[in-house]
Amino acid sequence: MVNLTIDGKKVSVPEGTRILDAAREIGVNIPTLCYLKEINEISACRVCTVEVAGSEKLVPACSTPVQEGMDILTHSPRVMQARVTNVSLILSQHNASCTSCTRSGNCALQTLASDICYQPSYGNSPAKMDWNTKYPLIRDASRCIKCMRCVSVCDKIQTMHVWDVLGTGARTTVGVRDGMDLMDVNCTLCGQCITHCPVGALYSRDDAIKVVRSLGTKDKVYICQVAPAVRSAWGEDLGLGTDVATVGRMVSALRAIGFDYVFDTDFSADLTIMEEGSEFIERLTHRDQYPWPMFTSCCPGWLRFIKTEFPEYVPNLSTAKSPQGMFGAVAKSYFAEKLGRDPEDIVCVSFMPCTAKKWECSVEAINDAATRDVDTVLTTRELAKMLRNFRINVAALPEDDFDSPLGESTGAGVIFGTTGGVMEAALRSAYYLVTGENPDADAFHAVRGMEGVRAATFEIQGIKVRTAVANGLGNARKLLEAIKTGRAEYDFVEIMACPTGCAGGGGQPIRDGQELGEGRGGYLRKLDVAKPIRFSHENPSVQKLYAEYLEKPLSHRSHKLLHTDVSQWSLK
């Protein structure tokens, strides 16, 4: 242990602890901007500098390890002056038109600037924004503070190296690697750079206005679907915990802002399991006709990744569409028929924890029931923004149920939103499809957890099923390398591009410096346990859909509506 003094208080911390963390131990909160623990420890912004008694220079608290006997001052006159200077310097190049910024009220720089008594004396000359704002992922150079977090996150967590530092000296900036266009560098659109940006320099395309200005008009039927992970986080940007921001109130809120039908992506997650599970059984029973292992196909970031990084494995993908895609196809065929409306009269809006879904819905090859099966994808952040826009008082709303028939779901559907959940849901039903009996709903708990790559082998009626689950694209890459070099062999592999899965998705609410995916995933697991039905194949609405319309999994109509050939998907 190392003993030191911070602002006159004694503290004892393990060797190697940084001054920043030592200070937090005793409740001293030193501000940071560029720091992201273990990901971006580059001490670039210099707003965390503190004074070490006897030291010639101030030192950055984020990267300086403690030393025995250090006497640290976090708000000496030198420190205060330095912090004011550095924040002012950052602000001199920052486009501080906060009112129109997606991060207003949730911005590390805004908070820091408003917390200090600063005297701007450097003028304001931000860089110019130079970006195609039609892209799902947008970078506004005028807001960038060059903290390099996006570069580090994309390098270290996702291993995609989309972002890079460009130029040197005063003209150093961040941009797409080699000065290329975003759409030419195989960006997966996972959005992890967005959720790790301390300011509003990176954001997903804001599509909410498209919905806001037409919602409730009578010539169209407005329906929406809500992805599993959205329910674990939708209240965060409204300042509400899951105790108030319940699933029932989320349904009420969506109804309150004008959706004619509020449906659930959990329903189509159950449908996905029927198709993907049956496909897996088909492959398993005709082993030599298929390449191995089979990969899940619900995550669009992962699909972009495999198409560019491991294209030889595209034939291994399950042909099942994602739950979002299946929902759109069913809504604009089966449900349209039920309503007796032209599919083109239905406006289908998805609420997703994801930025890449904005691309997925626009892929030409995925639209099988109408011009666009899903018209607009909005993120969890956009959902909260809309509710504020409509001035919905969530706490005062009653609990409500999803509409029928595309609103009924099982516990297996809700865990789609967390790493391992798709695998577990699929195994629950695959077991039933093979044996004709339900397993214990928790029989496949070995695939749960938060480690980057997890493997587990199960036996279903004498058939060994070797499974692997990876979350985060760096981990996916490791797993794929292992498969490619023959170091590992699996039958069924689930990949989610974002760390912790969709719960930690690029469209989820942002809390600077906090990783909330694991907690949100835990909430989804609780919802699973609380559900009366925990097997996708027991979803009555899914059963009814097959009986009335699709006939059976992998039927001709299922193939037409619910399956896709990812090799035909354009990445642009």
Binding to other proteins by CB under 8 A, coded x per residue (else -) over 16-35, reads: x-------------------
Q: Which of 36, 59, 223, 542 binds other proteins (CB under 8 A)?
A: 59
Interacting positions 92-151 with other proteins (CB under 8 A)? 148, 151
* β-pair type (346-352, 376-379): parallel
| Residue with smaller CB distance to other proteins, 67 or 435 | 67
Could you tell me which residues come within 8 angstroms of residue 61 by beta carbon, excluding any fewer than 6 positions away? 18, 19, 20, 23, 30, 32, 48, 49, 50, 72, 74
Q: Which of 2, 39, 42, 256 binds other proteins (CB under 8 A)?
A: 42
Q: Which of 175, 301, 343, 413 binds other proteins (CB under 8 A)?
A: 175
Q: Is 179 in the site for other proteins (CB under 8 A)?
A: yes
Distance between alpha carbon 229 and the CA centroid of its chain, in Å? 8
| Residue with smaller CB distance to other proteins, 44 or 456 | 44
Binding to other proteins by CB under 8 A, coded x per residue (else -) over 343-362, reads: --------------------
| Residue with smaller CB distance to other proteins, 63 or 362 | 63
Measure the CA–CA gap between 487 and 402, rounded to whole angstroms: 46
Place of tokens 């697991």: 525
Q: Is 167 in the site for other proteins (CB under 8 A)?
A: yes
**Pick from 480, 456, 485, 481: nearest CA to 468:** 456
Measure the CA–CA gap between 307 and 569, rounded to whole angstroms: 9
Question: Which string of DSSP letters, residue by residue, matches 356-400?
Answer: HHHHHTT-GGG--SSS-SS-EEEEHHHHHHHHHHTT--GGGSPP-
Q: Is 169 in the site for other proteins (CB under 8 A)?
A: yes
The angle, 0 to 180 degrees and rounded to 10, between the axes of the packed helices 323-330 and 265-285 is 110
Q: Can you read off the two tokens belonging to residue 357?
A: 């879904």
| Residue with smaller CB distance to other proteins, 41 or 206 | 41
Q: Can you read off the two tokens belonging to residue 304?
A: 């972009």
| Residue with smaller CB distance to other proteins, 43 or 88 | 43
Cα angle: 237, vertex 240, 244; to 5 degrees: 140
Q: Which of 23, 79, 108, 155 binds other proteins (CB under 8 A)?
A: 155
CB of 19 to other proteins, least distance (A): 9
* β-pair type (2-6, 9-13): antiparallel
| Residue with smaller CB distance to other proteins, 169 or 436 | 169
Q: Is 185 in the site for other proteins (CB under 8 A)?
A: no
CB of 74 to other proteins, least distance (A): 15
How many CA atoms lie within 13 Å of 20's alpha carbon, on the beta-carbon side? 20
- Cβ contact 458:465 at 8 Å: yes
CB of 171 to other proteins, least distance (A): 6
Q: Which of 80, 166, 240, 339 binds other proteins (CB under 8 A)?
A: 166
The window from 167-175, 220-228, 364-372, 493-501 that contacts other proteins (CB under 8 A) reads 167-175
Q: Is 44 in the site for other proteins (CB under 8 A)?
A: yes
- Cβ contact 92:124 at 8 Å: yes
- Cβ contact 473:159 at 8 Å: yes
Q: Is 11 in the site for other proteins (CB under 8 A)?
A: no
Measure the CA–CA gap between 522 and 423, rounded to whole angstroms: 16
For 116, counting Cβ atoms within 10 Å of its Cβ (0-12 exposed, 13-18 middle, 19+ buried), the class is middle
**Pick from 26, 49, 45, 23: nearest CA to 35:** 45
CB of 93 to other proteins, least distance (A): 14
| Residue with smaller CB distance to other proteins, 19 or 447 | 19
CB of 347 to other proteins, least distance (A): 41
- Cβ contact 71:5 at 8 Å: yes
Q: Report the sign of the C-alpha dihedral through residues 417, 420, 426, 432, in that order.
A: negative
| Residue with smaller CB distance to other proteins, 39 or 443 | 39
Q: Which of 134, 170, 213, 364 binds other proteins (CB under 8 A)?
A: 170
Q: Is 171 in the site for other proteins (CB under 8 A)?
A: yes
Q: Is 51 in the site for other proteins (CB under 8 A)?
A: no
Q: Which of 74, 152, 252, 333 binds other proteins (CB under 8 A)?
A: 152
- Cβ contact 305:446 at 8 Å: no
CB of 164 to other proteins, least distance (A): 8
Q: Is 336 in the site for other proteins (CB under 8 A)?
A: no
Give the C-alpha distances (Å, rounded to integers) separating 508 from 321, 326, 381, 407.
Answer: 22, 22, 6, 22
CB of 291 to other proteins, least distance (A): 22
CB of 318 to other proteins, least distance (A): 30
Q: Is 439 in the site for other proteins (CB under 8 A)?
A: no
CB of 43 to other proteins, least distance (A): 6
Q: Is 43 in the site for other proteins (CB under 8 A)?
A: yes
CB of 110 to other proteins, least distance (A): 25
- Which parts of this chain interact with other proteins (CB under 8 A)? 16, 40-44, 52, 55-57, 59, 63-65, 67, 148, 151-152, 155, 165-171, 175, 179
